[in-house]
């Protein structure tokens, strides 16, 4: 096996929720009489910390607070999160990885309580040795949680790989000193991911060649 531990991002990588995020953000923009965005434009503008992304997309934090906007988004997301599904083929893949004896963890910018609930709902929580989410819903970033997770694995960096869908995942991998594979079907475009020197795949099946 190439790696002994896989760190998965959640939203966009394991969970197919990009369309939901675009729908919610457009509803919020429309309510403020601001221009809406296409899915492609969203994938170009979205990034961490999300406060900067909100400003790029048109929100004015001189008129209202980031906390108000962030809370509004997550309230709407939580109301509709039951409509989301795992990315096609993900359940089968993480099951295969588990059966092969490779450890897996989740490192997410989702608030940890909701993260645990959703992993239980999709019946995949038991596949993961460690699960790291954030303490709030403002998605500031997950580098520090990543450092804690790395310590817990007690493995050399070259035996760990991170799989994610955003440039923030690339940055986290760089800080942790681990290899990474980026998926281009999530919240960031392939063009955006190409700024970092990691392999990029367009579907679940392509991930396998970097693991087995």
Tally of helices (H runs) and strands (E runs) in the chain: 10, 8
Count of domains forming the chain: 2
Note whether 12 and 63 are same-domain residues: no
Which residues make Cβ contacts (< 8 Å) with residue 81, sequence separation at least 6?
Answer: 17, 20, 114, 118
Is residue 37 within 8 A of residue 22, CB to CB? The reply is yes
CA atoms of 188 and 192, how far apart (whole Å): 6
CA atoms of 167 and 156, how far apart (whole Å): 23
Residue that is last in its domain, among 83, 99, 130: 83
CA distances for 32 relative to 38, 63, 69, angstroms: 17, 11, 11
pTM for the model: 0.93
H or E stretch including 14?
A: none
pLDDT-based confidence at 110, cuts 50/70/90? confident
pLDDT-based confidence at 152, cuts 50/70/90? very high
What was the pLDDT predicted at 37?
96
Note whether 74 and 113 are same-domain residues: no
Residue that is last in its domain, among 62, 83, 104: 83
Note whether 139 and 164 are same-domain residues: yes
What was the pLDDT predicted at 200?
97
Residue 137 pLDDT > 60: no
CA atoms of 147 and 155, how far apart (whole Å): 12
Q: What is the mean pLDDT of residues 178-198?
A: 96
Residue 5 pLDDT > 60: yes
Note whether 57 and 133 are same-domain residues: no
Note whether 37 and 98 are same-domain residues: no
pLDDT tens digits, 78-108: 999 999 999 999 999 999 999 999 999 999 9
Percent of the chain with pLDDT over 90: 89
Expressed as residue numbers, the domain containing 77 is 18-83
Note whether 130 and 182 are same-domain residues: yes
CA distances for 102 relative to 5, 129, 165, 192, angstroms: 6, 10, 21, 30
């Amino acid at each position: 096996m190439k790696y002994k531990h896989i760190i998965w991002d959640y939203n966009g990588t394991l969970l197919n929720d990009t369309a939901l995020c675009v729908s919610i953000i457009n509803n919020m923009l429309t309510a403020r009489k601001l221009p809406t965005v296409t899915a492609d434009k969203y994938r170009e503008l979205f990034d961490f910390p999300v406060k900067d992304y909100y400003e790029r997309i048109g929100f004015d934090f001189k008129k209202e607070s980031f906390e108000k906007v962030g809370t509004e988004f997550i309230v709407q997301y939580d109301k509709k999160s039951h409509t989301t599904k795992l990315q096609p083929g993900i359940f089968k893949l993480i099951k295969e990885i588990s059966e092969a004896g490779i450890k897996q963890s989740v490192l997410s910018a989702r608030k940890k309580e909701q993260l645990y609930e959703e992993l239980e709902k999709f019946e995949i929580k038991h596949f993961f040795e460690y699960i790291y989410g954030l303490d709030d819903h403002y998605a500031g970033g997950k580098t520090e949680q990543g450092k804690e997770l790395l310590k817990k694995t007690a493995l050399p960096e070259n035996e760990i790989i991170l799989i994610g869908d955003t440039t923030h995942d690339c940055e986290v991998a760089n800080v942790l000193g681990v290899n990474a594979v980026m998926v281009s079907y999530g919240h960031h475009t392939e063009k955006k991911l190409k700024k970092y020197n990691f392999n990029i795949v367009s579907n679940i099946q392509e991930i396998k060649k970097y693991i087995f």
